[in-house]
Each structure stands twice: as C-alpha cells, then as structure tokens.
Homo-oligomer: A and B are copies of this chain.
Amino acid sequence: VAKIDFFYEFASTYSYPAAMRIDDLALDYDVEVNWRPFLLGPIFKAQGWETSPFNIYPDKGRYMIRDLERLCEALGLPPFKMPKTFPAHSILPARVALCFTGEMRAAFTRETYNAAFAHGADISDAKVIEKVLKGLGEAAAKIFEKVNTQPVKDALRAETEAAQKLKIFGAPAFVTEDGELFWGNDRLEAAMEWAARD
C-alpha cells in the first residue's frame, strides 16, 4: 500500500483542517498515513523569522483567521477560534504525540487541534494536554513521565531535522515515497493523488 508522510506543527492553523481530513482521504485513496509532528520554530528562525508570518504581516494574519473561519464552516468543523497566544509553544504536544504510535497518535493530534482551534485553549499548558489525554482514556501521568526524557526529546529533534532535510518550509506538508513535496491543507488531495498513482 502507498504511504505518505504527513508533517504537521501543533501551532499551525492550516495543519488543523488537514489533520481532520486526512484519514478519510487516505481511505478513499488507499494510502497509509505516517503522522509526523515537528517544530516549525527552528525552520522559521533559519528564515529569519522570530514568530509566525501571520504575526509579522498583520493583513495576512487577519486574512488567515477569516479564511480559517470559512474553511471550518465549509468542512463542518466547529467555529474556528484563535487561541490568545499565537503561535503556541508546541513542544509539549509534539513530544506527547511522539510517545504514541499509529491511531493513538492520530487521535491525540486531532483532539489537541480541537482544543486549540475550536476551543482556543493554550496547548503549551500541561493541564490542557492532560485533559486531552484523559479524554482518550490514557493514563496521562504515565505519558508525562516519558515526555521530557532524552529519547523523546531526541525523537522530536530528529523529526524537525528530517523536515528541514526535505526542504519543508511550512506546515502542513506532505511527502510521498518518491520524495514529492506538497505544502498546505489545499494540497492534501493532490498529494494523495500523487501517492496513490505510484
């Protein structure tokens, strides 16, 4: 079965609809999704950005919120809600996600995005993540024991470096097995089509 790498950043607004849509599309196209959380911060820093481009360019930022409102409505998602702090520090949820594999990682990711962009919660807050974990029926304490250990830290660093090596400059990004890169929620269908035709 064809595979696709789904690179996402927990602070990224456009990664949110992609995370909500990708599993249905993967079924349609018969493609297997590898969920790969990474950090955009180091990549933005290398581009000379200290924050999100949506903060650096206010017209773009205002437009993004309106665009997400329209997108969420069209997709039947809850009304889009911008968190007070944007972009969120996403190291905690990214590390937690890497403590899971397979469907649990996908479920944790979706619930965390829901907390961030349907409820405006601060996903850098351990209490918010704990609540998400409890909702998934996980022994939250167990995950929190693991989350700041060296292997988990190293895993996240490795994913961010992998993204950099693939020339990823934004999120979400999709990479097919033959190395084709697609950027943005708007390219999810094109990426699936490419992956499936291999």
Contact = CB atoms under 8 A, between A and B. Distances in A.
Nearest first, the 6 A-B pairs at minimum CB distance are A186-B186, A59-B169, A59-B167, A60-B169, A47-B57, A63-B183
A63 B181 contact: yes
A182 to B, nearest CB: 8
A21 interface: no
A5 to B, nearest CB: 16
Interface string A46-80: 01000000000101101100110010001000000
Contacts of A169: 57, 59-60, 63
Interface in A66-106: 66-67, 70, 74
Interface of A: 47, 57, 59-60, 62-63, 66-67, 70, 74, 167-170, 181-184, 186-187, 190
20 contacts: A47-B57, A57-B169, A59-B167, A59-B168, A59-B169, A60-B169, A60-B170, A62-B167, A63-B167, A63-B169, A63-B181, A63-B183, A66-B181, A67-B182, A67-B183, A67-B187, A70-B190, A74-B190, A184-B186, A186-B186
A184 B62 CA distance: 15
Interface centre among A74, A167, A168 (most CB of B within 10 A): A167
Contacts of A167: 59, 62-63
A167 B182 CA distance: 28
